[in-house]
């Protein structure tokens, strides 16, 4: 996962504006997912990455990873498309990654922690950080309703500090013991599935990753993309979380990564 560090370093050039494009499947955006896409390929997955969901899903695709770019709800066209995909028959897997953070916040905090930053750039970074923190706090202060059959409801949760590292408990699989991984992950809302779902990751009482079976299909929902974006993968705790998540996805058939919960009009973008 050294690619994540390279991408972030490219975005940190002192004479350029940082790229904060959310869930960009290519390029050095702090909020991009190019490093996670590469991780999937490195772990044996046959990956196609598109910026938008295609209007029709190729029958060879058996797994879809969607980085929903909405803070509020899954797009109705995407919900219909993904439901049809899950109901086509045979094993199908959907990983829905929700939006609940902004990787640029951590990046700007790190930049401002260095005394050598020039006064004009420090002022600019402070103003940008203030705007981002206010904007993200506002959009995550309200619930996100679940879109049936997806257990993707989010509920705001009061915490003393969202910036503290979290201890993520990973449910044991097979004969493995339960694992505890401390990661740099701002928790703002927690999953509140509208129906029973198996919890795979928890932090305290917060459900972070859940799984629901639907006939032969499997739905996974991750509460936030924070540990998967390029900026997040620089953290030593987030990297094993990303690897664990990749291990939950089948290596058979093709896997589609979509960097948006929007459906493209011409069969897919990017």
Looking at residue 76, its pLDDT comes to 95
Report DSSP letters for 208-234, one per residue. Answer: EEEEEEETTEEEEEES-STTTSTTGGG
Q: What is the mean pLDDT of the chain?
A: 87
pLDDT digits (tens, 9 = 90+) for 128-182: 889 988 999 899 999 999 998 999 999 997 765 566 788 999 988 777 788 999 9
Looking at residue 67, its pLDDT comes to 98
CA distance 127 to 37: 32
pLDDT digits (tens, 9 = 90+) for 184-215: 888 889 898 766 799 999 998 889 999 999 98
Burial of 22 (0-12, 13-18, 19+ CB in 10 A): buried
Looking at residue 223, its pLDDT comes to 96
Q: Taking the CB of residue 32, how many other CB atoms lie within 10 A of it?
A: 29
Looking at residue 115, its pLDDT comes to 66
pLDDT digits (tens, 9 = 90+) for 89-120: 889 999 999 999 888 888 888 878 876 777 88
- The answer to whether the pTM exceeds 0.85 is yes
Average pLDDT over residues 222-231: 94
Looking at residue 14, its pLDDT comes to 43
CA distance 210 to 192: 10
CB environment 137-168: b (16+ within 10 A), e (fewer): eebbeeebebbebbbbbbeeeebeebeeebeb
Q: What percent of the chain has pLDDT over 70?
A: 88
Pairwise pLDDT comparison (248 vs 184), residue with the higher score: 248
Pairwise pLDDT comparison (194 vs 18), residue with the higher score: 18
Average pLDDT over residues 78-99: 96
Pairwise pLDDT comparison (42 vs 163), residue with the higher score: 42
Instruction: With beta carbons less than 8 A apart as the criterion, state whether 72 and 144 touch.
Output: yes
CA distance 36 to 24: 11
């Amino acid at each position: 996962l050294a690619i994540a560090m390279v991408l972030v370093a490219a975005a940190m050039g002192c004479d350029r504006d940082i790229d904060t494009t959310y869930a960009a499947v290519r390029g050095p955006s702090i909020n991009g997912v190019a490093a996670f896409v590469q991780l999937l390929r490195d772990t044996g997955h046959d990956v196609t990455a598109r910026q938008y969901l295609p209007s029709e899903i190729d029958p060879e695709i058996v797994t879809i990873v969607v980085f929903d770019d909405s803070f509020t709800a899954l797009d109705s066209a995407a919900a219909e498309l993904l439901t049809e995909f899950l109901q086509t028959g045979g094993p199908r897997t959907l990983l829905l990654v929700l939006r609940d953070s902004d990787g640029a916040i951590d990046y700007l905090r790190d930049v401002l922690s260095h005394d050598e930053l020039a006064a004009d750039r420090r002022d600019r970074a402070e103003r940008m950080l203030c705007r981002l923190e206010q904007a993200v706090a506002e959009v995550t202060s309200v619930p996100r309703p679940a879109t049936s059959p997806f257990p993707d409801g989010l509920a705001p949760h009061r915490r003393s500090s969202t910036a503290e590292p979290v201890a993520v408990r990973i449910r044991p699989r097979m004969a493995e013991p339960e694992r505890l991984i401390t990661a740099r992950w701002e928790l703002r809302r927690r999953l509140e599935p509208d129906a029973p779902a198996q919890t795979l990751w928890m932090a305290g009482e917060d459900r972070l990753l859940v799984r629901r079976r639907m006939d032969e299909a499997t739905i996974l929902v991750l509460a936030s993309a924070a540990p998967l974006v390029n900026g997040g993968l620089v953290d030593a705790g987030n990297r094993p979380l990303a690897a664990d998540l990749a291990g939950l996805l089948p290596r058979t058939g093709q896997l589609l990564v979509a960097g948006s919960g929007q459906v493209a009009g011409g069969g897919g973008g990017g």
